[in-house]
Structure 1
Amino acid sequence: MQPATEPSGGPTARRTFGVEEELLLLDAHTGRPAPLAPLILADVVPSDDDVGELSLELQQQQLEVISRPHTELRDLAAAIHGGRRQADRAAQHVGARVAALATSVHPATLRLAPDGRYARMRELYGLALADHLTCGFHVHVSIDSAEEGVAILDRIRVWLPVLLALSTNSPFWNGLDSGYASYRYPMNLRWPTSGTYEPFGSAWEYQKMVRARLNDGVILDEGMIYIDARLARKHPTVEVRVCDVCLYSDDAVLIAALMRALVEEEVRSWQAGEPAPVATAADLRAASWTASRYGLRGPLVNPLLGGLCDAADAMHLLFERVLPALRDYGDEATVRRLLNQIEQRGTGADRQRQQMRLGPAAVVDDAVNCTQLSPLDWPEPPPPPSAP
Structure 2
Amino acid sequence: MRTVGVEEELLLVDPDSGEPKSLSAAVLARATQDDPGQDVFQKELFGQMLEFATHPQADMADLGAEIVRCRKEAARLAGEFACALAALATSPLPVSPSISVNERYEWMARRYGITTQDQLVCGCHVHVSVESDEEGVAVLDRLRPWLPVLLALSANSPFCQGRDTGYAAYRSRVWDRWPSAGPTELFGSAERYHRWVADMVATGVILDERMAYFDARLSARYPTVEIRVPDVCLRADSAILVATLSRALVETAARDWRAGTPPPDHGVCLLRLAAWQAARSGLDQELLDPATMRPRPAPDVVRSLLGHTGDALTGSGDAALVEEAVAHLLHRGNGAHEQRLLMERTGSLRSVVTECIRHTQE
How does the TM-score come out when normalised to structure 2? 0.97
User: 1:96-152, CA deviations, whole angstroms, 9 ceiling, x for partnerless residues?
Assistant: 000000000111011101111101111110111023200000000001110100000
**Within 2, Cα distance between the matches of 1:265 and 1:127?**
40
Match of 2:6 among 12, 16, 19: 19
Aligned to 2:249: 262
- C-alpha RMSD over aligned residues: 1.3
Give 3-state SS (helix, strand or coil) of 1:319's partner: helix
SS in 1 for 2:53: strand
Aligned residue identity for 1:362: S
Secondary structure at the aligned position of 1:193 is classed as coil
Alpha-carbon deviation of 1:46?
A: 7.0
1:385 corresponds in structure 2 to none
SS in 2 for 1:64: strand
Matches within 5 A, 1:2-41: 14-41=1-28
Deviation at 1:211, TM superposition (A): 1.0
Tell me the CA shift for residue 178 of structure 1. Answer: 0.3
Distance between the aligned counterparts of 2:38 and 2:3, measured in 1?
16
2:234 is matched with which residue: 227, 247, 259? 247
- Code of the residue aligned with 1:29 in structure 2: it is D
Q: How many angstroms apart in 2 are the aligned matches of 1:241 and 1:178?
A: 21
Which structure dedicates a bigger proportion of its chain to helix? 2
User: Which range is displaced more, 209-218 or 143-152?
Assistant: 209-218
Alpha-carbon distance in structure 2 between the residues aligned to 1:30 and 1:362: 8
Q: Is the 1:23–1:99 contact (alpha carbons within 8 Å) kept by the matching residues of 2?
A: yes
Shift of 1:28: 2.3
SS at match of 1:213: helix
Q: Is 1:179 aligned to residue 179 of structure 2?
A: no
**Counterparts of 1:308-347 in structure 2 under 5 Å?**
308-347=295-334
> Residue 149 of structure 1 contacts residue 237 of structure 1 at CA under 8 Å; is this kept in 2?
yes
Gaps of 5+ in 2: none
1:47 to 1:337, Cα distance in 2 relative to 1, 3 A: farther
What is the DSSP-based 3-state SS (H/G/I as helix, E as strand, rest coil) of the residue aligned with 2:45? coil
**Partner residue in 1 for 2:126:** 139
> CA separation in 2, counterparts of 1:307 and 1:360?
35
Could you tell me which amino acid in structure 2 is paired with residue 140 of structure 1?
H
**Of 186, 210, 213, the match for 2:197:** 210
SS of 1:227's equivalent? Answer: coil
2:50 counterpart SS class: strand
Task: With the length of structure 1 as denominator, give the TM-score of the two structures.
Answer: 0.91
Structure 1 contact 52–79 (Cα < 8 Å) conserved: no
Runs of 4+ in 1 over 4 A off after TM superposition: 45-48
Alignment partners' CA distance in 1, 2:34 and 2:12:
22
> What CA distance in whole angstroms lies between the structure 2 residues aligned with 1:192 and 1:360?
31
Equivalent position to 2:258, from 271, 274, 286: 271
The 3-state SS of whatever aligns with 1:194 is coil
Q: Is 2:268 the partner of 1:303?
A: no
Find the aligned partners of 2:223 and 2:276 in 1 and give their Cα distance: 30
Which residues in structure 2 correspond to 1:150-229 (within 5 Å)?
150-229=137-216
SS of 1:23's equivalent?
A: strand
Matched residue of 2:6: which SS?
strand
User: Which residue of the partner structure matches residue 369 of structure 1?
Assistant: 358
* Alignment check: 8 A CA contact 1:251 1:342 kept: yes
SS, match of residue 126 in structure 2: strand
**What displacement does 1:29 show?**
2.8
2:349 corresponds to: 360
- AA matched with 1:211: A
Task: Kindly provide the amino acid, as one letter, of the partner of residue 98 in structure 1.
Answer: L
The answer for the alignment partner of 2:111 in structure 1 is 124
Which aligned pairs between 1:48-87 and structure 2 lie closer than 5 A? 53-87=40-74
* Residue 135 of structure 2: aligned partner: 148
Identity %: 45
Tell me, yes or no, if structure 1 residue 351 matches structure 2 residue 342. Answer: no
* Cα distance in 1, alignment partners of residues 133 and 104 from structure 2: 26
Deviations 1:20-44 (A, max 9, x none): 0000000223210000000111111
Task: Kindly indicate whether the alpha-carbon contact (under 8 Å) linking 1:54 and 1:63 is maintained by their aligned counterparts in 2.
Answer: yes
Letter in 1 for 2:43: L
Check the 8 A contact 1:52/1:67 in 2, yes or no: no
- CA separation in 1, counterparts of 2:72 and 2:32? 14
In 2, the alpha carbon distance for the partners of 1:303 and 1:127 equals 34
Q: Structure 1's 67 and 186: CA in aligned 2 closer, same or farther, altered over 3 A?
A: same
Does the residue aligned with 1:157 lie in a helix, a strand or coil? helix
Where do 5+ consecutive residues of structure 1 fail to align? 1-13, 374-388
* 1:51 CA displacement: 9.6
CA-to-partner distance for each residue in 1:286-308, whole Å, 9 max, x for gaps? 00000000000010001111210
Match of 2:227, SS state, is strand
Q: Secondary structure at the match of 1:309?
A: strand
Aligned to 1:234: 221
Deviations 1:291-327 (A, max 9, x none): 0000000100011112100101110110011111111
Alignment length (residue pairs): 359
